[in-house]
Amino acid sequence: MQVCMTNCPTLIVMVGLPARGKTYISKKLTRYLNWIGVPTKEFNVGQYRRDLVKKYKSFEFFLPDNEEGLKIRKQCALAALNDVRQYLSEENGHVAVFDATNTTRERRETIYKFGEENGYKTFFVESVCVDPEVIAANIVQVKLGSPDYVDCSNDEATEDFMKRIECYKNSYETLDETLDKDLSYIKIMDVGRSYLVNRVMDHIQSRIVYYLMNIHVTPRSIYLCRHGESELNLKGRIGGDPGLSVRGKEFAKSLAQFINEQNIKDLKVWTSQMKRTIQTAEALGVPYEQWKVLNEIDAGVCEEMTYEEIQENYPLEFALRDQDKYRYRYPKGESYEDLVQRLEPVIMELERQENVLVICHQAVMRCLLAYFLDKPAEQLPYLKCPLHTVLKLTPVAYGCKVESIFLNVEAVNTHRDKPENVDISRPPEEALVTVPAHQ
Amino acid sequence: GSWASYMTNSPTLIVMIGLPARGKTYVSKKLTRYLNWIGVPTKVFNLGVYRREAVKSYKSYDFFRHDNKEAMEIRKRCALVALEDVKAYLLEECGQIAVFDATNTTRERRDLILNFAKENAFKVFFVESVCDDPEVIAANILEVKVSSPDYPERNRENVMDDFLKRIECYKVTYQPLDPDAYDKDLSFIKVINVGQRFLVNRVQDYIQSKIVYYLMNIHVQPRTIYLCRHGESEYNLVGKIGGDSGLSPRGKQFAQALKKFIEEQEIVELKVWTSQLKRTIQTAESLGVTYEQWKILNEIDAGVCEEMTYAEIEAKYPDEFALRDQEKYLYRYPGGESYQDLVQRLEPVIMELERQGNVLVISHQAVMRCLLAYFLDKSADELPYLRCPLHTILKLTPVAYGCKVETITLNVEAVNTHRDKPSLDSVSLAAQPWFFPFSKISA
């Protein structure tokens, strides 16, 4: 559903020792919320500290009796909270994610009061993990490459970081069932083996909990591609339910070969319920599942038209679309914004799954890609998703590695860039200047 | 089958846990209703029902004393019979989920169930309800136990007294799920104090994740849901389906009458939801309150048949027309949707309705049928033929294990848009909307 904007902004407060995945969760959650249309921003206190204290020396900065260190760290927290206030109260932000250890009850009370004073709902996300292997892996993934350790060897960095964690342990007060019974929070244990959820207050908190309970960190790859070139692609027509062209069928075979070579464990294959994706999947010779929600964007009255025909029959609509391609809805059709809403269950299920190949369509693929690569709404409708090209996405550190693999079967270009002139009174040539060639 | 049904590969056994009067049967029935609605065949197996079969007349709480050997034997036998029925449902009757509704408060009993599940390759998910609030428990007893077959004389005080002693019998041997040691490898959700807090452990798959999300969104606060359609539209008048027409003069009258009705109801903090089609928005506009527009509440997309009358559809697409009558729930209009698609589309609406308090949903015929089927537990066969006439409000109030329905016809005339399933042996003119007098039924 279109997330109902409550009047209250939400302040999400991360809690946990270093290397417990707080920043990983903050960034991922922020990416998800922005994608579903909830303006969200993360505020990493460590970043404020790095901006203030130009050069990190050692774990001693974090010793509990280092007065100078404590003073600076408190200053940074307050600076971050000030920016939070500006974002939520002045810049139309809806959710702020306050990413810091927040391991003492005292610090959390300060933040909670800050939230109350400003009319924010506060929701805590605590990550608890005692598995030394997980912690070691986290350190390798994201700490060794941190600006703090740019001049250190891996061993030096690891040793220093472990001592840094020790600095926090003595004063760590985990969220308690009794003492914190009136707070709203989720406690994530052992990277999602179990969860404790307390007093979920509203819709957005419920969605956040559901999301956090579905994500995992098991290594895997997601493959995104479009159907093979279709008969309508060749003619420059949008939408419809055509079958594959001769080259499209070649692509399907190449895709089968590519998938075989990749040797992917337990690969799931998903398609839409349109012929062109189903025909592509058929060539793979493996079971696949059809999702109606993966169908291409509905172009309403413009279905099966060429861009030239749209310009001739609906020049106003055509211009309006160029002015705001993300929100523009085809008459009797859909917008990209509608598409994102429709695709949310796909994203949720992709998060639950491991290795998946999604064979879909141009607009659909743009939406999915924007989620994984954190592209904003303005860029989303212009992401390049050419035919016969597979994008292999692999989660790494805080983001996603992308490999683009063109499977050496020629196809038409279906990408139409935004033309310079988007005025409703523009001459047809200026509207059509970016239309790719077709039969 | 539905997507949700596909995503559920092995059969799953949901096992309720909790002392009496902790809402186990309430949750079992509600969850089962939800799962069936999203297309996952689910059935409840209530051990109390089996026990009442075996022991024709309940005498008193003494039956439940843990030192009552004879009774313990009977109760164990009932459990085994129930599990045999579970097995038949999941393995032979195409069931996908069985909900075993009993106290299951001892490890011994739960281990028995786990072994049974292992033998049959069923996944097991426990739902434990823990509640120590005496007011909640007393309210539960009054709501559902006083009217139980165990207490035919229905004397409240006697019931309360006996039932509380019954609970004490269980408390002696109650071993709650222990996430830190004994039960750390089980998959379960512990619901604490009617949803104030949850502990979720080892969710294994898609359907368990959906079950957890559902359980975390439902509540038991009293509230009322009002369902109605937009006022009569211009297209309704000429018998055209779909489209995006405005209200007819009578439709506008209805909107006014609706406003008056809502005011008279004096509903606390009523939320109003509409679709993004003109006719529901125009209806809501007359209410003079804030309302929210949901695209997913739009009427079923009739694809190539949009804006046609049934006569035109029958003339132009006779095969499609016949197919739809044969299988109205699954039938998808070419380029459009089926009722099954609509249910999937409406699932977030149902989830949000569960979270909310008092809500008025102004929608459309097919949409309203889907929502109504959820609240009244109607099957896929019945759903497309539920009666949702124009200018009529359905007021739904949760009560005991179900939903009370009041039908309120606001006194404004409108066309009838309901089309019954045609029978093969007779042409029933009464079943057709008035603007479609003669239908040709192919025998």
Active site residues of B: 230, 299
pLDDT value of position A1: 36
Q: Do B203 and A210 touch (CB under 8 A)?
A: no
Q: Do A203 and B352 touch (CB under 8 A)?
A: yes
Q: Do A1 and B341 touch (CB under 8 A)?
A: no
pLDDT value of position B4: 67
Residue with token string 């089927």: B373
Active site (annotated) includes residue A60? no
- pLDDT one-digit tens code per residue, A383-393: 999 999 999 99
When CB atoms are compared, the residue of B179, B206, B294 closest to A349 is: B206
Q: Do A197 and B198 touch (CB under 8 A)?
A: yes
Interface test with A, best of B200, B215, B333, B339 (most A CBs within 10 A): B200
Encoded amino acid at A24, one letter:
Y
Q: Do A196 and B199 touch (CB under 8 A)?
A: yes
Give the integer Cα–Cα distance in Å for B270 and B359.
5
CB neighbour class for B205 (10 Å; exposed up to 12, middle 13-18, buried from 19): middle
| Closest residue of chain B to A4, computed from CA coordinates | B292
- pLDDT one-digit tens code per residue, B11-51: 999 999 999 999 999 999 999 999 999 999 999 999 999 99
pLDDT value of position B78: 94
Question: What are the residues facing B46 on neighbouring strands?
Answer: B101
Q: Do A289 and B6 touch (CB under 8 A)?
A: yes
- pLDDT one-digit tens code per residue, A192-219: 999 999 999 999 999 999 999 999 999 9
Confidence of residue A309 (pLDDT cuts 50, 70, 90): very high
pLDDT higher than 60, residue B365 = yes
Q: Do B202 and A292 touch (CB under 8 A)?
A: no
Q: Name chain B contacts of A332, Cβ cutoff 8 Å.
A: 244, 306
Give the integer Cα–Cα distance in Å for B348 and B353.
8
Q: Name chain B contacts of A204, Cβ cutoff 8 Å.
A: none
Q: Do A352 and B352 touch (CB under 8 A)?
A: no
Q: Do A199 and B197 touch (CB under 8 A)?
A: yes
Q: What does the pLDDT average to over B176-195? A: 96
Which chain B residues in 124-183 lie under 8 Å from chain A, judged by CB atoms? 179
**HEC states along chain A?**
CCCCCCCCCEEEEEECCCCCCHHHHHHHHHHHHHHCCCCEEEEEHHHHHHHHCCCCCCHHHHCCCCHHHHHHHHHHHHHHHHHHHHHHHHCCCCEEEEECCCCCHHHHHHHHHHHHHHCCEEEEEEEECCCHHHHHHHHHHHHCCCHHHCCCCHHHHHHHHHHHHHHHHCCCCCCCCCCCCCCCEEEEECCCCEEEEECCCCHHHHHHHHHHHHCCCCCCCEEEEECCCEHHHHCCECCCCCCECHHHHHHHHHHHHHHHHHCCCCCEEEECCCHHHHHHHHCCCCCCEECHHHCCCCCHHHCCCEHHHHHHHCHHHHHHHHHCCCCCCCCCCCCHHHHHHHHHHHHHHHHHCCCEEEEECHHHHHHHHHHHHCCCCCCHHHCCCCCCEEEEEEEECCEEEEEEEECCCCCCCCCCCCCCCCCCCCCHHHHHCCCCCCC
Q: How many CB atoms lie within 10 A of CB A70?
A: 14
pLDDT value of position B424: 60
Q: Would the annotation count A303 as a binding residue?
A: no
pLDDT higher than 90, residue A142 = no
pLDDT higher than 80, residue B431 = no
Interface test with A, best of B38, B128, B197 (most A CBs within 10 A): B197
Residues 6+ apart with CB under 8 A from A307: A236, A238, A318, A416, A432, A435
User: What mean pLDDT, rounded, does chain A reach?
Assistant: 95
Task: Please state whether A428 falls in left (phi above 0), alpha (psi between -120 and 50) or beta.
Answer: alpha
Encoded amino acid at A64, one letter:
P
pLDDT higher than 70, residue A31 = yes
pLDDT higher than 90, residue A422 = yes
Q: Name chain A contacts of B333, Cβ cutoff 8 Å.
A: none
Q: Do B344 and A292 touch (CB under 8 A)?
A: yes
| Closest residue of chain A to B201, computed from CA coordinates | A194
**Total CB pairs under 8 A between chain A and B:** 66
Q: Does B354 touch chain A (CB under 8 A)?
A: no
- pLDDT one-digit tens code per residue, A362-391: 999 999 999 999 999 999 999 999 999 999
When CB atoms are compared, the residue of B202, B292, B294 closest to A194 is: B202
User: What mean pLDDT, rounded, does chain B reach?
Assistant: 91
Q: Name chain B contacts of A293, Cβ cutoff 8 Å.
A: 344
**Which one of the listed residues A42, A94, A227, A317 is annotated catalytic?**
A227
Confidence of residue B429 (pLDDT cuts 50, 70, 90): very low
Q: Would the annotation count A226 as a binding residue?
A: yes
Q: Would the annotation count B263 as a binding residue?
A: no
Interface test with B, best of A191, A194, A293 (most B CBs within 10 A): A194
Give the integer Cα–Cα distance in Å for A214 and A307.
40
Confidence of residue A4 (pLDDT cuts 50, 70, 90): very low
CA B210 to centroid of chain Cα atoms: 15
Beta carbons of A355 and A220 less than 8 angstroms apart: yes
Give the integer Cα–Cα distance in Å for A19 and A397.
12
Q: Name chain A contacts of B3, Cβ cutoff 8 Å.
A: 291
Q: Would the annotation count A153 as a binding residue?
A: no
- pLDDT one-digit tens code per residue, B60-110: 888 999 899 998 899 999 999 999 999 999 999 999 999 999 999 999 999
Q: What does the pLDDT average to over B226-242? A: 97
When CB atoms are compared, the residue of B179, B197, B344 closest to A198 is: B197
Q: Name chain B contacts of A195, Cβ cutoff 8 Å.
A: 198-201
